Amino acid sequence: MAEPMRIRATMAGDVADVKVLMNHPMETGLRKDAKTGQLVPAHFIQEVTTTINGAAVLNAEIGGGVSKNPYLGFKVKGAKAGDKVVVSWADNKGDKNSAEATIS
């Protein structure tokens, strides 16, 4: 099971500022294990989806070129304090994770 994500969503004027730290190894499949010399299998997030009150506001496809434990920050107009933000990801091995926060 995936480790929990850390998510924070705050209002800055009329814009919601969403910050997410996704715990994930993000292996490219090109790195060799120092002890065995074997390639470490690819394991990376492929898709990130964000909704506010059930409406999609962000869909992103990422790959192995992103560093371990990726950080994602973005701003959304039209959101209000008290709205529910849900961030979900799926990786190339079928693992999934999701976290939610209320905009403050």
Q: Tokens standing for 25?
A: 């190894």
Domains, the chain, ranges and CATH?
A: 6-102 (2.60.40.10)
Question: pLDDT tens digit string along 2-27?
Answer: 789 999 999 999 999 999 999 999 99
Q: Is the distance from CB of 85 to CB of 101 less than 8 angstroms?
A: yes
Helix H, strand E, coil C: the string for 59-100 is EEECCCCCCCCCEEEEEEECCCCCCEEEEEEEECCCCEEEEE
Q: Is the distance from CB of 72 to CB of 48 less than 8 angstroms?
A: yes
What is the C-alpha separation between 87 and 51, in angstroms, rounded? 7
Question: pLDDT tens digit string along 14-67?
Answer: 999 999 999 999 999 999 999 999 999 999 999 999 999 999 999 999 998 999
Beta bridge partners of 27: 43
Rounded to a whole number of angstroms, the CA Rg of the chain reads 16
